[in-house]
Amino acid sequence: MSTDATSSASPQAPADGHRYSPALAGQIETRWQVWWDEQGTYHIPNPSDPIFDASRPKFYCLDMFPYPSGAGLHVGHPEGYTATDIVCRFKRMSGYNVLHPMGWDAFGLPAEQYAIQTGVHPAITTRRAIDNFRRQLKRFGFCYDWSREFGTIDPDYYRWTQWIFLQIYNAWFDAEQQRARPISELVDEFAAGKRRVRLNPAATEYTGAGDLPGGTRMAPWNELDADVQRMIIDSYRLAYAARQTVNWCPKLGTALANEEVIDGRSERGGFPVFRKPMRQWMFRITAYADRLLDALADVSWPESTKTQQAEWIGRSEGAEADFPILDQEGHPSGQALRVFTTRPDTIFGATYMVVAPEHPLVDEAIESPTPETDEARLRAYVESARNRSDVERMESKEKTGVFTGRFVKNPATGEPIPVWTSDYVLMGYGTGAIMAVPAHDDRDWAFAKQFDLPIVQVVEPANGQAPDDKPFCDEGVAINSANEAVSLNGLPTREAKRLTIKWLECKQIGTRRINYRLRDWLFSRQRYWGEPFPIVWDARGNHHAVSEDHLPVTLPDMADYAPVESDDPQPLLGKATEWLSTTAGQVGVRELDPATPVTRETNTMPGWAGSCWYYLRYCDPHNAERFVGEEAERYWMGSQQARGHEGTGVRSNGATKGTSSPRDESEPRSGSATQGGVDLYIGGSEHAVLHLLYARFWHKVLFDLGHVSTDEPFGKLFHQGLITSFAFQRSDKTLVPADEVWELQYNDESGGFAKAKPALGDAMSCGIDAPDLPKEIYETLTKTGSAFVRFGSNADVIAGHLRDVELLTQITAKMSKSLKNVVNPDDVIAEYGADTFRLYEMYMGPLEASKPWNTRDIIGLFRFLQRAWRLCIDENTGHVHTSAQADAGTEKLLHRTTHRVGRDIEKLSFNTAIAGMIEFVNAASTLTSDQMDRFVRVLSPFAPHMAEELWHRLGRQGASGSVALQSWPTYDEAMLVDSEIEIPVQVLGKLRSKITVPADAGEDAVRRAALADPRIAELIAGKTVRKVIIVPGRLVNIVAN
């Protein structure tokens, strides 16, 4: 098809003539969306393609790809997509090769639950949802390269997800080199005697298929039994199988992450959740804790997100210390309770101990109770704690606990102190036990107050006295901290910490230690709709990797995928008996005889799996030989600096002397490619921790193994704000569905009648006799002019029975089906057009701010487009205006607008960029053909359909066709500087006039101009000018009497 679309773009008068109307907008938008698809306007070739232009720098811009739900998009979804679209269009016009892809995060629990509810297979419902999402996104005119589209449910995609899992499975983390290495290299080092043969010391407990046989001695590698060798190797793998206590939801039939459990119930569905030990696949993400934490300094991310990730990793420096456990006679039993503390300097103030309910000491106290043990209460408490997630336990403000009946000796004071159990201590953090110092810890203080335990102050402020009514938790000076061997008294906290650790190590009862809040990543789900693991099990309980040439392991086609509600976990894939059983030869397990029966892994991967690496596949989505080609990965994920393209500011595109590009001197928010990785990644802040952390972990492993060229996946990250909708609540804070709410409007000229109409629409309205309303509502109406109400079933507006009506308060809330305040973008586009929708979303406020959607405000942006249209098009004929003469003021403002819009796009300040264009359109009365050319290019990132239409009507398409492929207009720096400025003039502090003077006028010239101004001269006639105060460039104040 020819790139000349003039014929298709020729004026066609709809019913309302050539005026820019919703009908005309619809025609224009449909026409150009089809044309862009046919032309492949937004297709970007890869470096290996013959037509690729390697001289241009790259810009890789990525949206967090959506989960395609059956409900489709609401108006909040396109906010981030519109922002990236504007940036990508601007970058393309500024000389960049732009990669802007889109796809679908389509596996996961929501699709499976929806399929169970509807009785339609998730493969069908998900494909339908994808088709609907794609249709909706295309209506916005986004410049995605759709040739790169894929879904995580595509076997050609999840083949490589499984391949990456095997890379992690077949790798271990070398703590000395601080990187992942192939597991084969570990075996070679063991065999060569270069590394001590032992279980992985970094594993807190053995996490293989079983314990080492009793009495096993570590001999030279080649002398060990094959099963022992396998167990040792498995303890080092970055992907390993282990029995873990998980959040089991019988109703959903799967284990849930801590973040998916709220108040003991599943976040989705609200079903009861119980703690249960199960075999799970885990990722040893804890090995990367320091690297994940340290690398946050190297990425341009919001500080709040960096902080959330740092807190999630939770690096804590401190010490471990042993507290001898006492027998019933108060003598040391020969065992010790080991604790981790970040404040070893406060050990003299430890007045009790707290252990997690899962701690072995609690089990021992139940099995061998002392006279002081309340066994029944202790059992009940442990059972109750088992059903609460770690997140719930940490966030709970109420402190609960039970005395175990056990005592330990404080090694610093020699005093016996009681051991309690409480669910605010987690078995997974530190040692599962803490020394409680209530004088200097908020939680310990609350617990001590709750159970009347002693509080001993051992730290005081360096200047002043510690409060009596709350703990002093800051650093200070040690007091009451001395025994015969060591004295901390008078030492500042840091020095006291150092000396305490030295004392513990000298006595061999403790050591310096670094701990992390981060836990290894539970990577199993017991559901159907997820990626199968490329793992099989033999009859002896050993796991084996499916060979790479047998990937993908595809999901079986199951008619029955509903989970069985059971306390005994049964993964759904276990029902697929034909798929389940196979042989080693059929899956390429070479270490077994090909005829050996094996069973496939029946867990599936979690919804996170596909999103951990999709940004890499976009670089080379059709590669059948590799998960991403090396050349494509190095180009799209590498840094600009490495390729000789400094920074990400816009190139001048051959601008001559006296012109400049809109490069802002401050760091542009639209990305700095010098860091490598994706140049701009935009998505919701709800993914600030898990998705981003997991993707970083996968990427670092791939980097260590030589599969990618950068250490971090996302160089620049930005979170768009939430678009909310109005919601309505009663006085008791309960919410009312928006479609049941009416807005009453009233004024003194309404003749006693209040106008009533639906609160969230412009549907039919009616009049209500205002005095007939309840007193509270009538008073609100007369005072404020409006009120939001809900009419009850007994309120008859027509008959005047208005007592059954309640006053509501309007608030903003997240859009939800239950509140019926969801706005469908299809409806808005049908009424105003996609260009108006795009402009409104970007004009609502700063991109990062939360903003309430109000359909009534859209009309202002539609009228802006109408004015822009009239500047270029004669509404009587539909032809381009041709008679305009160049106006110096308009020309200067156009240069300023070009600079301002480009600068604001770089800063992601789209609302101010649109404000600049509105200012220009309002000021300009006519435009020359050349001015139209430049203005249309400035408008095109924001309203691409109108811009394309105008570009072709101007006859500018030429060989390159689309306006999207043109260069960003240049501007003259001199035009940005005012030659004259206007200065207000005051007399005795009151504004009396304004004067216009040269921008470089000195104070004498300004003084003369002010005194010579006719109005000022008249005001000061006959008076003595005492003083003339000049604020350069801003103000003149004349004192005269």
Evaluate if residue 648 carries a pLDDT over 50: no
- The confidence band for 654, taking pLDDT boundaries of 50, 70 and 90, is very low
- The confidence band for 752, taking pLDDT boundaries of 50, 70 and 90, is low
Q: Which pTM was predicted?
A: 0.87
Evaluate if residue 370 carries a pLDDT over 80: yes
Reported in sequence order, the residue ranges of 730-817 that DSSP labels E, i.e. its strands, are: 735-736, 742-745, 753-758, 766-769, 786-791, 805-813
Evaluate if residue 850 carries a pLDDT over 50: yes
Strands 723-729 and 851-852: parallel
Evaluate if residue 926 carries a pLDDT over 90: yes
- The whole-number pLDDT of residue 749 equals 67
Q: Are 727 and 814 in contact (CB under 8 A)?
A: no
Evaluate if residue 288 carries a pLDDT over 90: yes
- The whole-number pLDDT of residue 6 equals 44
Q: What is the mean pLDDT of the chain?
A: 89
Q: How far apart are CA 548 and CA 358, in angstroms?
A: 40
Q: What is the DSSP string of 828-877?
A: HHHHH-HHHHHHHHHHSS-TTS-EE--GGGTHHHHHHHHHHHHHHB-TTT
* 40-49 tens-digit pLDDT: 999 999 999 9
Percent of the chain residues past pLDDT 90, beyond the cut: 70
- The confidence band for 708, taking pLDDT boundaries of 50, 70 and 90, is very high
Integer angstrom CA distances of residue 759 from 44, 234, 865: 46, 62, 27
Q: How far apart are CA 102 and CA 149, in angstroms?
A: 6
- The confidence band for 748, taking pLDDT boundaries of 50, 70 and 90, is low
What is the SS3 assignment for 51? coil
* 973-1027 tens-digit pLDDT: 988 887 788 999 999 999 999 999 988 899 999 999 999 999 999 999 999 999 9
Q: What is the domain partition of the chain in residue ranges?
A: 163-287+521-610, 316-516, 723-819, 833-960, 980-1040
- The whole-number pLDDT of residue 813 equals 85
Mean pLDDT within 146-170: 98
* 803-835 tens-digit pLDDT: 678 899 998 888 887 777 889 999 999 999 999
Task: Name the residue among 783, 782, 750, 784 with its Cα closest to residue 768.
Answer: 750
Q: Are 789 and 796 in contact (CB under 8 A)?
A: no
- The whole-number pLDDT of residue 619 equals 98
Q: Tell me the CATH number of domain 980-1040, given options 3.30.230.10, 3.30.450.20, 3.40.50.300, 3.10.20.590.
A: 3.10.20.590
- The confidence band for 587, taking pLDDT boundaries of 50, 70 and 90, is very high
Q: How far apart are CA 968 and CA 91, in angstroms?
A: 9
Evaluate if residue 333 carries a pLDDT over 70: yes
Strands 680-682 and 261-262: unpaired
- The whole-number pLDDT of residue 817 equals 75
Reported in sequence order, the residue ranges of 315-447 that DSSP labels E, i.e. its strands, are: 316-326, 332-341, 352-355, 402-409, 416-421, 433-436
* 193-232 tens-digit pLDDT: 999 998 888 775 444 434 555 555 678 999 999 999 999 9
Q: Tell me the CATH number of domain 316-516, given options 3.40.50.2000, 3.60.15.10, 1.10.10.60, 3.90.740.10.
A: 3.90.740.10
674-688, 740-754, 995-1009: segment of lowest average pLDDT: 740-754
Architecture category of domain 833-960 in CATH: Orthogonal Bundle (1.10)
- The confidence band for 667, taking pLDDT boundaries of 50, 70 and 90, is very low
Mean pLDDT within 259-286: 84
- The whole-number pLDDT of residue 882 equals 87
210-219, 388-397, 632-641, 954-963: segment of lowest average pLDDT: 210-219
Q: How far apart are CA 128 and CA 940, in angstroms?
A: 32
Q: How far is CA 876 from the centre of its chain?
A: 49
- The whole-number pLDDT of residue 873 equals 96
96-100, 412-416, 665-669: segment of lowest average pLDDT: 665-669
- The whole-number pLDDT of residue 536 equals 98
